[in-house]
Chains A and B, each alone.
Chain A
Amino acid sequence: MFKDTDKIGPGKNVEGTEMRYRDAFNQALRDELNNDKNVLIIGEDISGGFDKKTKEPLDAWGGPFAATKGLVQDFGKDRIMDAPISEAGFVGAAIGAALTGLRPVVDLMYFDFTTVAFDQLLSNAAKSRYMFGGQTKVPLTLFARSGGGTGHAAQHSSAFYSILAHIPGLKVVTPSDPYSVKGLLSSAIRDDDPVFVVNDKKLINMTGFVPNETYQIPLGKGRYLSEGSDITLVGMSYTSVVCMEAAKELKKLNINAEVIDLLSLSPLDEDIILESVQKTNRIVIVDEDNPRASMASEVAAIVSDKAFDYLDAPVKRVTAPHTPVPYSKGLEDAFLPNSEDVIGTVKMIMGA
């Protein structure tokens, strides 16, 4: 759905297919399981269900949102390991496996469940390399589903990217379409540092063009989704879609918005942000995370610090409120930053 104008994107004449985000995700897992026999996947219900007589996995679920569907048939239960509900235990075991030569991929189901395993993530995955003086590495990939808008309520809808991006030793990526999830997941699994791949639930059934070949999107690189000269809109994960919707409407008002999709939150592509704002002189950052100490705040601080002289308007943020995610549809809609919120903010600082 995106017109890629930067280097990140499928090249011309590449063979590919229209597919859903979840299918692109599944394809990347499949590619990496084929690529390296030390890759294995651990998580709850990633095949889902066992035959009581044969003790063999049934693949009844194929993972939450069917992310791992079909993998257990092709790669076996030793590589597609269903885990009991014990996030700290199996994340810890995956870190131990990563420290001793495997490249585990962990499905944490909902992003909120990250906190159940948070000590392992913070104290072991992120710090081992540093506190042991660089003598080891932790090639671990974690993924989970984030975001509101699906009626999953407060404990199944968080988008606290900033909590993870805050941690030295961890990397965090936020794909925003089928193309980017395939490339970023592949990069994450091949990377020697622990990487968290956050998948917004609102993206999971989105379709888009995905090259058949295996490819990697470099961690720490953002991309332009559209070019414009009047204002920069910065999105991440699903808010990149929101920014594109807003840009389309703004065009009708003769406002040309440049949309940047961060893709990677840690490391962060500061250059693309600064390059754009130096051209447009105005910036709005759109983030579904709670506002305090968020990625939106971080980008705002970087722009204020490094591009102050280029600014013609205050740096603005469009974020979720400082509340948990509510359940009732109307409240949930009010919680989520949408394109109207973005357009309103743009109009305000453009004096339009």
Chain B
Amino acid sequence: MKIENKLEWIYETLIRIRFFEEAMLEQTYKGNSMGVTHPSDGQEAVPTGICAHLTEKDWIGSTHRGHGHCIAKGLETKKMMAEIMGKFTGNCKGKGGSMHIADFSKGMLGANAIVGASIPLAVGAALTAKYQGKEKDSIGVAFFGDGASSQGVLHESMNLASIWKLPVIFACENNQYAEATPAWYAVSIEDIADRAASYNIPGVVVDGMDVFAVYDAAEQAVKRAREGKGPTFLEFKTYRYHGHFHADQPEKYRTSEEENLWKKRDCIINFEKRVIKQKLINKNRLDSIKKKIQKEIEDAVEFGLSSPLPPEETLYEDVYVNYSNDLRGFR
């Protein structure tokens, strides 16, 4: 599909992720989320540009920094906010939290807090699609970062996807840091995408701050997968604006010069400049979209705050589909 037909959706999604993360952080600092959160603002272009090509029948695997993936895949922000606040109305009834948001009805296999662990799940979803002859309508996308690029399970997954020719995309968000460790230190190669060559998979380096570039690269990879031609590896050079998690102090391990350089390339600002210059969307329309999303996120926060906590008996539910022993411990 031509990107012109998707521009409003793209803008909405970029803004939705940005505003969500800002509001989520504010609520976290206020003590309203119940644990650790990993904001993804700065990286919005990657999930947005990829998921623009996906439907609910496609599957994505996500990471601890997964809010952007969830939103781009169509999950409702109010349920996500409620989940982060540990509420019963959240996607996972308050059992998962920020690092385990999932919605199987939207093709979202779950955020995963073991670095790299969701990659084979996306490969498995692609296996299901191929097994059932549904590659055209259902592919897998594995999101992961530069940190996961050194995990063995990624390399095993790439090998499997290649030899089984599975409809899957390896989407590496190289945001330059794995926790506090820089990629230049931890990754043995300049471009992680080059690692794909070892598995006979095309590897492409993409400007992850430019949603147009992401959209184009993803279009090719999605087409290749749907046509049964196998996996593609995309490496997106991107940047997380905040630290590793909400209370991290990134100034201890990166410079403000570096941060500012990346912020100049901000995906939202540059999108706005471009669509206005090219007269694709006018300023008023952009503003009204912003306003709409602002309201949506305020409502999401309100929904989360006013939602009930999970009843205590749900502690023992959903461990198994069925199990004949008592799950309560001894006390």
Contacts and interface: CB of A to CB of B under 8 A. Distances in A.
A137 B321 contact: yes
Nearest to B140: A96
A220 B324 contact: yes
Contacts of A171: 320, 323
B159 A89 contact: yes
A99 B121 contact: yes
B206 interface: no
Residue with the greatest number of chain A CB neighbours at <10 A, chosen from B92, B94, B114, B156: B156
A56 interface: no
A305 B126 CA distance: 48
A220 B117 contact: no
The interface centre, meaning the residue of A88, A89, A99, A266 with most chain B CB atoms within 10 A of its CB, is A89
A168 interface: yes
Q: Interface range on chain B: under 10, 10 to 19, 20 to 34, or 35 or more?
A: 35 or more
Given A89-B156, A92-B124, A96-B122, A124 B117 contact: yes
B185 interface: no
B148 interface: no
Given A96-B127, A100-B128, A119-B114, A133 B93 contact: yes
A97 B157 contact: no
Interface in B268-321: 317-321
A193 B153 contact: no
A84 interface: yes
A270 B102 CA distance: 35
Contacts of A92: 117, 119-121, 123-124, 153, 156-157
B145 interface: no
A227 interface: no
Contacts of B103: 135
How many residues of A sit at the interface, in one of the four size bands? 35 or more
A93 B124 contact: yes
A267 B128 contact: no
Nearest to A221: B324
Interface string B53-67: 000000101000000
A192 B109 CA distance: 17
Interface string B108-133: 01101010011111111111110110
A100 B124 contact: yes
Contact of B124 (A96, A123, A193, A266): A96
B153 A97 contact: no
A222 B188 CA distance: 53
Contacts of A102: 127-128, 131
A173 to B, nearest CB: 13
Contacts of B122: 96
Contact of B104 (A81, A136, A268): A136
B13 to A, nearest CB: 23
Nearest to A266: B325
Given A89-B120, A96-B128, A100-B128, A133 B325 contact: no
B96 A133 contact: yes
Contacts of A94: 124
A95 B120 contact: yes
A120 B152 CA distance: 12
B159 A86 contact: yes
A193 B125 contact: no
A131 interface: yes
A206 interface: no
A40 B131 contact: yes
B176 to A, nearest CB: 25
B197 interface: no
| Among A130, A131, A268: residue with most chain B CB under 10 A | A131
Contact of B131 (A78, A99, A124, A133): A78
Contact of B320 (A131, A136, A193, A270): A193
Nearest to A40: B131
Contacts of A305: 330
Contacts of A135: 91-92, 102-105
Contacts of A89: 120, 123, 153, 156-157, 159-160
B322 interface: yes
Nearest to B88: A133
A95 B121 contact: yes
B243 interface: no
Contact of B319 (A83, A99, A130): A130
A169 interface: yes
Interface string B153-170: 100110110011000000
A169 B319 contact: yes
A89 B324 CA distance: 31
B160 A120 contact: no
A132 B96 contact: yes
Contact of A133 (B95, B120, B327): B95
A134 B317 contact: yes
A166 interface: no
The 6 closest A-B pairs by CB, nearest first: A96-B124, A92-B120, A89-B156, A134-B318, A133-B92, A96-B121
Interface of A: 40, 78, 81, 83-84, 86, 88-102, 119-120, 123-124, 128-137, 168-169, 171, 191-193, 219-220, 266-268, 270, 305
10 contacts: A84-B160, A90-B160, A96-B126, A100-B59, A123-B117, A124-B117, A124-B121, A131-B96, A137-B321, A267-B325
